[in-house]
A and B are shown apart, each in its own frame.
Chain A
Amino acid sequence: MTIVCNGERLEALAGATVSSLLETLGIASGRVAVEVNSRIVRRDEFPRLALRDNDRVELVHLVGGG
């Protein structure tokens, strides 16, 4: 299936969850915030939330700013 992650199209395995996506991308889940289809996904939902074809996923973190 294909998802759109941070504006890029990505191939993901069927049955992928938020946790497995983060793992595949090499992103530590500690300080990341996740949105799927404009809804915030809480940290405890990461292992459970299965992604579906055409989901729009945002992965954000904190960077330097004023």
Chain B
Amino acid sequence: MKTESLTIGGRSYSSRLIVGTGKYPDLDIMRLSIDASGAALVTVAVRRIDLSQRGGGRSLLDYIDTSRVALLPNTAGCTTADEAVRVARLGREAGLSDLVKLEVIGDERTLFPDNEGLLQATRVLVKEGFTVLPYTNDDLVVAKRLRDAGAAAVMPLAAPIGSGLGIQNAVSLRLLLEEIRDLPVIVDAGVGTASDAAMVMEIGADGVLMNTGIAGAGEPIKMARSMRLAVEAGRLAYESGRIPKKLYATASSPMERLVRDDS
């Protein structure tokens, strides 16, 4: 059974799971993990070429089958709108992709986004024809501003990047999902294990983006498969319409014609 696909900026992807390409033990494990995750979109970072290693070694793109998996360059590490715009432009040239995962970081220890910078950069990049996916916090008002600025999706965090804490503010996230219905909401960051991913999908997220949760696991390839199943399970549960929660028991078997001692 297949859940409907994820559509961002007019393009459809066969999986609701987006995975990162950083922090794997090696590039072969990364490649096999991407395969196991079923992801159709993977994030990549933009960095200076190390001039001391000229010509040597294989590059990341030798390990990604770009005929099956689309690239989503990010602006990780940028702390101002100007820096993020610059890196986005470079990423477009290097990755031949109009998609950008826009990060403007406002705080070093938490890696929380700088919403003012994020909005500024979104406006500039949308004007330049980018499909902008901003990494934001779980704030409905900011999400609305990003939508109005022309973002193609909003990507609120579940918990700090790389923390593996799972959803920390379920109410905020659920309110955001209730109110932002006209563009995809992809929960980005904080997923630690399969149940976190399933939970995100059960409350109605359109997709999940994760990196450390897979790359940092003891067995990344196995965890990638686990996340794939969790995202599918969570989405199916969401589409199925769960039962209401009740405080007391309701019997599942008939209460009539019970076998009794009639004496």
Q: Are B48 and A31 neighbours in the complex by a CB distance under 8 Å?
A: no
Q: Are B45 and A7 neighbours in the complex by a CB distance under 8 Å?
A: no
Q: Are A62 and B73 neighbours in the complex by a CB distance under 8 Å?
A: yes
Chain A to chain B: the 9 pairs with minimum beta-carbon distance, closest first: A65-B45, A26-B55, A66-B211, A66-B20, A33-B93, A33-B94, A26-B54, A64-B22, A64-B21
One of A26, A34, A64 near B44 (C-beta < 8 A): A64
Q: Are A66 and B93 neighbours in the complex by a CB distance under 8 Å?
A: no
Q: Which residue of A lies closest to B44 (CB)?
A: A62
Per-position contact with B for A27-66: 1 when CB-CB < 8 Å, else 0? Answer: 1000111110010101100000000000000111111111
Q: Are A66 and B94 neighbours in the complex by a CB distance under 8 Å?
A: no
Q: Are A62 and B46 neighbours in the complex by a CB distance under 8 Å?
A: yes
Q: Are A58 and B90 neighbours in the complex by a CB distance under 8 Å?
A: yes
Q: Are B90 and A60 neighbours in the complex by a CB distance under 8 Å?
A: yes
Per-position contact with A for B182-202: 1 when CB-CB < 8 Å, else 0? Answer: 000000010000000000000
Query: Is residue A5 contacting chain B, with contact meaning CB distance below 8 A?
Result: yes
Q: Are B51 and A8 neighbours in the complex by a CB distance under 8 Å?
A: yes
Q: Which residue of A lies closest to B77 (CB)?
A: A65
Q: Are B24 and A62 neighbours in the complex by a CB distance under 8 Å?
A: no
Q: Which residues of A contact B249 (CB under 8 A)?
A: none
- Of the A-B pairs whose beta carbons lie under 8 Å apart in the complex, a sample of 26, sorted by A's number, is A5-B51, A31-B59, A31-B61, A31-B95, A33-B93, A38-B86, A40-B90, A40-B93, A58-B90, A59-B48, A59-B49, A60-B46, A60-B90, A61-B46, A61-B49, A62-B59, A63-B60, A65-B22, A65-B45, A65-B76, A65-B211, A66-B45, A66-B74, A66-B76, A66-B161, A66-B210
Which range holds the interface residue count of chain A?
Answer: 20 to 34
**Inter-chain pairs besides A6-B51, A25-B54, A60-B49, 20 sampled, C-beta below 8 Å:** A7-B48, A32-B94, A33-B94, A35-B90, A59-B48, A59-B49, A60-B90, A61-B59, A62-B44, A62-B71, A62-B91, A62-B95, A63-B60, A64-B22, A64-B30, A64-B44, A64-B60, A65-B45, A65-B211, A66-B212
Q: Which residues of B contact A26 (CB under 8 A)?
A: 54-56
Query: Is residue B23 contacting chain A, with contact meaning CB distance below 8 A?
Result: yes
What's the Cα separation between A59 and B52 when bound, in Å?
13
- Chain A CB within 10 Å — which of B20, B30, B51 has the most? B51
Q: Are B89 and A40 neighbours in the complex by a CB distance under 8 Å?
A: yes
Q: Which residues of B contact A33 (CB under 8 A)?
A: 46, 90-94
Q: Which residue of A lies closest to B90 (CB)?
A: A33
Q: Which residue of B lies closest to A41 (CB)?
A: B93
One of B23, B48, B89 near A66 (C-beta < 8 A): B23
Q: Are B91 and A63 neighbours in the complex by a CB distance under 8 Å?
A: no
Q: Which residues of B contact A38 (CB under 8 A)?
A: 86
